[in-house]
């Protein structure tokens, strides 16, 4: 029987313009709202006593590694032990993007743009848990959450002096990695770069670079959770997410920090889409993604800007209220996702877990990562699938049957 999680939210519409040409502002704020789930998910966890890990600020301001407002970036580190003492897991935080001055200025007053607003302690659950019964393969590794405060998936390098904005995501990434290497990561025998949502995109963008930071003898792989954002049309035939990404890439000077394997033949905005990167990557990559990703449904496929009549309103919040025609549209989105990963999945080194759920980010939530009733494909939970792939216990290419056949989903319903 499928599980439904009811998630309440309030859209901060008062800070936004209402003209149609400002729809991208609304879209970005929706990202922030949905990304709140990364932290809210823990209330569904079976973990009644989660590990709390303190914030460490990165003293790298002399290199220009600063958040949007100029404050120091940071991370949360919980040390490994025993057999995991020389193994490192780096989790890149998600949290949407900002694609224009207005949305980036807004982010400066949140934890997504300033360490002044970041939680001083974070719960480590799911893939970050320190308990073997909750995280069987990585519980005793050095586990890190690198905080996200630039708005361009750790990839920008520019500034806007008039608005007092620093677009330094790439420098934050480098400063964080350098700080962790100084704390022992340079001696890693095993490493896994992971991330959720905008952090899942960043894990793809930075994967081969991360591999090159270690000796050839170090086992290095990457994991992208809910980062497979598709370059797809919305319900009106528009290109909401392409327009969003184009704004991010241009505003934050992302072009020079994108993988050359892509920019040598495609435009920079196209190279911000994982579908144009994943089949060319050299480093082993595992993709975890819901076939009916709730963020993409709400903010890319059927945003309010593309649905002025409100025809999609109920469906975008609750899949149980979708009409047959709307479900066919969503099935076509799933079909596109499967086409995108077809070539990628043919490589033995890569892994895949595409479940037919209405979800977004499943590796940091305990209930979806590894619990008694976790989502499964062929009786395999996400945690076991990722572990089998990372440690070469099995080749893992798991693709679910189409909705509504999977009764193990923890589907999200919004109100």
Given a contact cutoff of 8 angstroms between Cβ atoms, the answer to whether 410 and 375 are in contact is yes
372 in active site: no
Given a contact cutoff of 8 angstroms between Cβ atoms, the answer to whether 192 and 89 are in contact is yes
360 in active site: yes
Q: Helix-strand-coil percent breakdown of the chain, rounded to 5?
A: 40, 20, 45
First to last CA, the chain: 21
User: How many CA atoms, within 13 angstroms, populate the side-chain half-sphere of residue 160?
Assistant: 19
Neighbours of 177 (CB within 10 A): 22
197 in active site: yes
Both tokens of residue 89?
């897991």
- Using DSSP bridges, classify how beta strands 158-160 and 3-7 pair: parallel, antiparallel or unpaired: unpaired
How many angstroms separate the CA atoms of 221 and 370, rounded? 20
How many angstroms separate the CA atoms of 37 and 367, rounded? 13
Given 114, 115, 194, 197, the catalytic residue? 197
What angle separates helix 169-182 from helix 198-211, to the nearest 10 degrees? 60
Given a contact cutoff of 8 angstroms between Cβ atoms, the answer to whether 149 and 119 are in contact is no
Known catalytic residues?
A: 197, 293, 360
């Amino acid at each position: 029987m499928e599980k439904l999680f009811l998630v309440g939210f309030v859209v901060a519409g008062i800070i936004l313009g209402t003209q149609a040409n400002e729809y991208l502002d609304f879209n970005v704020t929706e990202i922030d709202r949905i990304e709140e789930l990364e932290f809210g998910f823990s209330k569904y966890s079976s973990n009644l006593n989660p590990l709390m890990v303190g914030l460490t600020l990165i003293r790298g301001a002399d290199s220009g590694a600063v958040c949007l407002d100029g404050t120091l970036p940071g991370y949360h580190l919980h040390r490994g032990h025993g057999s995991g003492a020389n193994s490192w897991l780096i989790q890149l935080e998600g949290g949407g993007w900002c694609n224009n001055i207005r949305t980036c200025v807004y982010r400066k007053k949140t934890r997504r743009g300033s360490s002044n607003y970041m939680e001083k302690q974070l719960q480590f659950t799911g893939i970050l848990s320190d308990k073997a019964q909750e995280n069987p393969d990585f519980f005793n590794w050095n586990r890190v959450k690198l905080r996200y405060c630039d708005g361009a998936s750790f990839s920008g390098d520019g500034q806007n002096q008039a608005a007092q904005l620093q677009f330094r995501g790439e420098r934050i990434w480098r400063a964080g990695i350098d700080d962790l290497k100084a704390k022992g990561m340079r001696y890693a025998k095993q490493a896994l770069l992971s991330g959720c949502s905008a952090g899942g995109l960043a894990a793809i963008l930075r994967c081969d670079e991360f591999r090159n930071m270690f000796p050839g003898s170090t086992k290095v792989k990457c994991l992208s959770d809910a980062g497979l954002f598709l370059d797809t049309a919305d319900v009106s035939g528009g290109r909401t997410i392409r327009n969003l990404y184009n704004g991010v890439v241009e505003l934050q000077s992302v072009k020079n920090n994108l993988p050359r394997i892509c920019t040598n033949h495609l435009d920079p905005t196209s190279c911000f889409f994982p579908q144009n990167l994943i089949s060319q990557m050299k480093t082993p990559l595992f993709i975890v993604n819901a076939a009916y990703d709730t963020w993409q449904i709400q903010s890319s496929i059927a945003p309010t800007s593309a649905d002025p009549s409100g025809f999609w309103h109920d469906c975008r919040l609750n899949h149980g209220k979708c009409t047959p025609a709307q479900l066919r549209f969503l099935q076509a989105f799933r079909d596109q996702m499967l086409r995108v990963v077809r070539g990628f999945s043919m490589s033995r080194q890569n892994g895949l877990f595409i479940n037919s759920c209405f979800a977004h980010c499943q590796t940091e939530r305990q209930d979806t990562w590894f619990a008694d009733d976790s989502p499964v494909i062929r009786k395999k939970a996400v945690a076991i699938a990722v572990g089998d792939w990372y440690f070469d216990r099995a080749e893992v290419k798991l693709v679910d049957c189409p909705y509504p056949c999977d009764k193990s989903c923890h589907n999200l319903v919004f109100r």
